């Protein structure tokens, strides 16, 4: 059966939503076949005062914003000209409520989608306040989802039947709204039917927004009495009015039992700790029953805009095996970024080191955050600590799966299967997350090992260089001893030379230690490669996806059975067989998660402890050698300086010695000695020049090692 206006046509089966006064349908424009939404008011709506009937029309004409559902025109039904029809923008993605009711969102939206909801609702509400409009029925069912050509969501506020114009300092006394999202003062009068003389301000929308945001973030309502909000209205009111300051949720799990208050978003929701840190204070200050204590819209907009204007920087703490998201303004300096990393990881700003895409990332405190490389959850910046850090990764919490209903009951079985699909989606998400973290751990340690390997190679080169310089200085000393026939008034000190001879004897020990370190690094690299091979061969995700498909198929069948209600004998037997299959699938999923996925993750975490300790020891030894090396270069320069003074004095004395004609042999000997001294002085000037250059190089070794481009020794693709 179809219905129409002059310019639009629709089937009554294409219903999008239904309320007390109107129904919304998917319709077509007759001339262009464009898809629109039509809101058809029923006859009951006309029993309302005329100004109330006209209010929604006037509101929609006044509003014009990308986050408000657009009104195209107002038409009349062809069968009844008195029956008004609003022709509006059609949103192909349904409502936010539809999205939250999908089993995969049973624990809330992904962070990226939640931020889109936050952005759209905040900007839509800002447009309402700029136009002095209070909505009075904010809820997920009144937030429509448009899917753009790029596949991204755009959310739009709709249903302005309860809206009215109201300035910030004005009040109203009429009651509208949906009870789970109603401000407690309005709930008391509208739901509990208690007489009271309270007036309500624009901040009642903030309470509804707070409940909506909590629902979007977690998949659940924040305030739940035992038996549910609709069955236990008195406790619902008690929870919302007696909520302690700062609490954002309250749940009663047992009949007549205590209320469990929450001051944080649940662990199972998909928002990062970085976002929760900024969002929770907003929720705490708008979920405030006392209208005098509740934030105003100015504070709400300031806080939420502050969140939306921040950049997201993904980091992965390698030694702690934890992922973090830093929300920070683009104009902040990197020193602020260091502080935020410390706040989330506990790694002090002074001991932080960074890697990105296999290369050291040098961050100067005065840099701007906008100059950081773009990151994602799959391509984070790795943070390391110069000190020992403990594993901080929390054991993943397996979602609770309720007991399988023992009795045959199509309604109970459908409810169970829907809950089960949501739980399996959560287990699959956790499995993917653990797999990704294993991959990131291996990526990070490949790069870290390669950094240390290059540092070892540099150290081995330093040892070779020092050995050559020592030999040069020692040979110079022997040459000066051979020239002892020249009477010198500058004594040759043997202290430095004795020290250098001692170092020369012990230097091979350092070389041996470096070679041992290089062997240890090869061993660590081989271990990481073995774990990488295991990760590549891991099929946990694919297996769990297969089980999910099977469970979803049973859920679809149970949904059909629920719609039928009473099944015939054969269908009832099939229903029961599917319940046995569900039981088997649940056991296999649990075993796959616990005995396979979780076990391999724990094995990688154990390797992290070993690798972190080994690399920390190696770096400590290398730092010790670097300090020793700088001191040694200083000793070499001092020795070279002393030798140069002695040689210069010897040359002066040799050239001043008189030689008679009869002493031609003596003259020849003197000339040979002077020639040897000049050659030696030239050699020593070369040594001095090299020592000065090397000293400058050594002083910048750490910076050199840090900026050295790395190419991790990962398997190369064929044909490379």
Active site residues: 137
Burial class from Cβ neighbours inside 10 Å (0-12, 13-18, 19+) for residue 86 reads buried
* Residue among 687, 686, 681, 688 nearest 652 (CA): 681
DSSP for residue 295: -
Q: How many CA atoms lie within 13 A of 336 on its CB side?
A: 16
> How far apart, in whole angstroms, are the C-alpha atoms of residue 69 and residue 93?
13
> How far apart, in whole angstroms, are the C-alpha atoms of residue 216 and residue 143?
11
Q: How far is it between the farthest Cα atoms of the chain? A: 144
Q: Which residue has the tokens 């991204």?
A: 152
Rg (CA), the chain: 38
Q: Which two tokens stand for residue 494?
A: 């043997």
Q: CA angle, 343 as apex, 342 and 344 as ends, to 5°?
A: 90
Q: Which residue has the tokens 């616990």?
A: 594
> How far apart, in whole angstroms, are the C-alpha atoms of residue 262 and residue 280?
11
> How far apart, in whole angstroms, are the C-alpha atoms of residue 14 and residue 291?
41
Contacts from 516-524 at CB under 8 Å and sequence distance 24+? 517/456, 517/618, 517/621, 517/622, 518/453, 518/456, 518/457, 518/460, 520/614, 520/618, 521/449, 521/452, 521/453, 521/456, 521/618, 524/445, 524/449, 524/611, 524/614, 524/615
Which residues sit opposite 328 in a β-bridge?
Answer: 311
Cβ neighbour number for residue 163 with a 10 Å cutoff = 23
Burial class from Cβ neighbours inside 10 Å (0-12, 13-18, 19+) for residue 693 reads exposed
Which residues 6+ apart lie within 8 Å of 97 measured at CB?
A: 139, 140, 141, 143
Residue 574 is inside which H or E element, if any?
helix 569-591
Q: CA angle, 188 as apex, 183 and 189 as ends, to 5°?
A: 105
The answer to whether the CB of 195 falls within 8 A of the CB of 188 is no
Which residues 6+ apart lie within 8 Å of 560 measured at CB?
A: none
Total residues belonging to the chain: 720
CA dihedral 552, 558, 563, 568 (to 10 degrees): 150
Q: How many CA atoms lie within 13 A of 674 on its CB side?
A: 13
Residue 10 is inside which H or E element, if any?
strand 8-18
Cβ neighbour number for residue 40 with a 10 Å cutoff = 20
């Amino acid at each position: 059966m179809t219905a129409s206006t002059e310019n639009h046509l629709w089937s009554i089966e294409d219903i999008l939503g239904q309320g007390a006064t109107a129904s919304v349908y998917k319709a077509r424009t007759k001339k262009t076949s464009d898809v629109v939404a039509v809101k058809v008011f029923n006859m009951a709506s006309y029993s309302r005062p005329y100004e109330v009937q006209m209010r929604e029309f006037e509101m929609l004409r006044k509003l014009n914003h990308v986050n408000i559902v657009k009104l195209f025109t107002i038409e009349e039904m062809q069968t009844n000209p008195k029956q008004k029809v609003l022709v509006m923008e059609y949103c192909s993605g349904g409502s936010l409520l539809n999205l939250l009711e999908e089993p995969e969102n049973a624990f809330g939206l992904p962070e990226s989608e939640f931020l889109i909801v936050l952005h759209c609702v905040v900007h839509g509400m800002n447009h309402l306040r700029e136009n002095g409009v209070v909505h009075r029925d904010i809820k997920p069912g009144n937030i429509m989802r448009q899917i753009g050509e790029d596949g991204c969501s755009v959310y739009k506020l709709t249903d302005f039947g309860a809206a009215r114009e109201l300035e910030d300092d004005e009040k109203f006394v009429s009651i509208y709204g949906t009870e789970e999202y109603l401000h407690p003062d309005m709930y008391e009068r509208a739901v509990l039917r208690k007489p009271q003389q309270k007036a309500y301000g624009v901040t009642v929308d903030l309470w509804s927004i707070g409940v909506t945001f909590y629902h979007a973030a977690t998949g659940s309502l924040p305030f739940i009495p035992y038996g549910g909000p609709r069955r236990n209205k008195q406790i619902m009111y008690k929870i919302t009015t007696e909520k302690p300051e700062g609490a954002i949720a309250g749940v009663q799990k047992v009949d007549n039992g205590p209320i469990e208050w929450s001051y944080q978003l649940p662990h199972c929701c998909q928002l990062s700790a970085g976002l929760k840190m900024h969002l929770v204070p907003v929720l705490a200050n708008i979920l405030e029953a006392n209208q005098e204590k509740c934030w105003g819209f100015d504070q709400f907009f300031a806080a939420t805009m502050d969140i939306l204007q921040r950049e997201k920087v993904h980091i992965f703490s390698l030694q702690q095996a934890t992922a973090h998201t830093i929300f920070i303004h683009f104009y902040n300096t990197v020193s602020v970024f260091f502080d935020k990393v410390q706040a989330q990881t506990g790694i002090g700003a002074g001991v932080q080191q960074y890697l990105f895409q296999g290369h050291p990332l040098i961050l100067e405190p005065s840099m701007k955050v906008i100059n950081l490389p773009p990151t994602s959850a799959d391509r984070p910046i790795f943070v390391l600590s110069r000190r020992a850090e403990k594993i901080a990764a929390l054991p993943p919490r397996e979602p609770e799966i309720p007991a399988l209903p023992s009795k045959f009951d199509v309604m109970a079985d459908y409810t169970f299967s829907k809950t089960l699909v949501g739980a399996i989606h959560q287990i699959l998400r956790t499995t993917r997350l653990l797999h990704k973290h294993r991959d990131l751990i291996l990526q990070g340690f490949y790069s870290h090992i390669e950094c240390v390997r290059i540092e070892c190679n540099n150290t081995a080169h330093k040892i070779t260089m020092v050995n050559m310089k020592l030999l040069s200085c020692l040979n110079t000393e022997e040459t000066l001893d051979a020239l002892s026939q020249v009477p010198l008034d500058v004594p040759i000190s043997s202290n430095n030379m004795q020290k250098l001879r001692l170092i020369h004897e012990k230097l091979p020990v350092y070389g041996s230690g470096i070679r041992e370190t290089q062997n240890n690094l090869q061993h660590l690299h081989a271990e990481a490669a073995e774990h990488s091979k295991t990760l590549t061969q891991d099929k946990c995700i694919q297996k769990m996806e297969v089980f999910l498909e099977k469970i979803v198929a049973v859920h679809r069948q149970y949904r059909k059975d629920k719609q039928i209600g009473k099944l015939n004998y054969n269908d009832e037997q099939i229903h029961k067989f599917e319940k046995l299959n569900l039981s088997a699938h649940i056991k296999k999923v649990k075993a796959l998660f616990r005995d396979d996925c979780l076990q391999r993750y724990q094995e990688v975490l154990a390797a992290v402890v070993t690798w972190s300790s080994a690399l920390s020891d190696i770096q400590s030894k290398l730092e010790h050698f670097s300090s020793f090396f700088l001191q040694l270069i200083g000793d070499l320069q001092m020795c070279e300086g002393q030798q140069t003074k002695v040689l210069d004095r010897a040359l002066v004395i040799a050239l001043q010695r008189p030689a008679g004609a009869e002493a031609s042999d003596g003259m020849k000997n003197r000339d040979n000695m002077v020639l040897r001294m000049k050659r030696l002085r030239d050699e020593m000037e070369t040594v001095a020049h090299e020592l000065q250059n090397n000293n400058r190089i050594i002083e910048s070794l750490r910076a050199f090692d840090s900026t050295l481009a790395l190419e991790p020794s990962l398997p190369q693709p064929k044909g490379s």
